[in-house]
Every structure is written in C-alpha cells, then in structure tokens.
Amino acid sequence: SSATPSYPFFVEAILKEQLMPQERESRYVLPLEKALKAKGFGSISGGGSTLFDRAEPGEREILESCIDIELANLDEALDLTKQTLNELGAPVGSKLNYSKNDTVCSEPIGDNELLNVYFDNYNLAPEIYEKVDTRTLYEALTTALKGKIVGTPNGPYTWPSEVLFYFIGPSADQIYEQIEPLRFEFPIFQNARVVFKRKDTQTAQTEIRIPFNARE
C-alpha cells in the first residue's frame, strides 16, 4: 500500500450544523475526500465538533462541526473544496479558514438555510408523549417534505428538556410552511421552539414559540 501524500496547505472547514461524527463523515468527509483525491488535490486529516452549554444544566449541544483538510494549493484545490462543500449542502454561516502569504483568511461558504425545531420534552401532558415517539415524528416530517425541493429532516437529538429535529434547504421559511400544519395533527408540537437561520443578515436568526393551545 502507498503512503498518503503530504500536502503543504492546511484548511479548516467550519460547518454551522449539528452534525454527529458519523453524519459528518458520511455527508461531507467521504465525498470531499473522494473529490480531492480524484484530482490529486488533497486529503482529509481530521475533524471534530465544537460544543456549547445549553440553558438547562448538564445539557450540551453541537455548535459547529470542523473538518481538517490538507490541500496541494490554494487555487484550484481550494476552489474544488468550496464547490464540493456547497454542493453537499453546507449551511449558511459555514466558512473555510486558512493562511495565505502569512495572512489569516476566512472565506464564507454555504447556500442553504437551517430550520431548527426543538420539541418540548418535559412540560407537556404525559399522554402526549405516550402517543408519539421520535420515529413516528420523523416519518411524519419526512412525508410532509416528500416530493418538495425545500429541505430534509435530520435528527433526532435528545436532551431531558428538548428533542431537536433540524432541516436544511434553500429556504427555512418554505420548510416551515410545509411542516407547520402537522402541529394540528400532533400535540407534541405544542410549546416547541422554532429557530430560523436565514441568509438574510437582517433576519439571521429568528425564534418563534408554538403555543400550548395549538388548535386555536
């Protein structure tokens, strides 16, 4: 077997997404490495996640995912890296960090918007939790988006206080339009936090709360 080539330029990809390690590997790392190696442009040398403390004590959440990339140059190889990550669905707020001519550079990437739906996992009536599980909820969310080029569901991520499903697509608002009617079918939507992360910097992150009496 041949040794992995050594490349002179280090680039760090920061993906503003709550990716678990196996998801980062399958969705971004393996396809990007394949694209780079096909051209002899570079390889992946590592990766990780940045965590932050949530409001509830003892709960932590992924803030962003990182991919360590070694490139042959900061021209075609960097362009291919950016193009590939965008094609793979990198969300808005993502970036590439690297050093060029002793200057630290940070280049934004990502065209997709994010919609985070945090379901209340603590304050609802016990019978609501008994009637629906995360698999049923995932299937309902998937069905609501099926055949529409608006986004895809990811998750669940579960804490004692909340359960997160997040969606990536061209428009966070269009995604919400498709899943919002489910709140009348599934009482589990009551008191959910819905966070929009849009391309428009004037409304970069907007949060709404679905009421308890969702049928009114």
Q: What is the pLDDT along the chain (216 residues), one digit of tens a residue?
A: 345 668 999 999 999 999 999 999 999 999 999 999 999 999 999 999 999 999 999 999 999 999 999 999 999 999 999 999 999 999 999 999 999 999 999 999 999 999 999 999 999 999 999 999 999 999 999 999 988 878 888 999 999 999 999 999 999 999 999 999 999 999 999 999 999 999 987 766 699 999 987 554
Q: How far apart are CA 37 and CA 206, in angstroms?
A: 40
**pTM attached to this predicted model:** 0.89
Contact between 46 and 68 under an 8 Å Cβ cutoff? The reply is: yes
pLDDT, position 214: 52
Nearest to 35 by CA among 104, 1, 85: 85
pLDDT, position 213: 73
Contact between 110 and 94 under an 8 Å Cβ cutoff? The reply is: yes
- Residue reference for tokens 């570079």: 42
Tokens of 57: 């004590």
Q: Coil, helix or strand for 127? A: helix
pLDDT, position 17: 93
With 0-12 / 13-18 / 19 or more C-beta atoms within 10 angstroms meaning exposed / middle / buried, residue 122 is: exposed
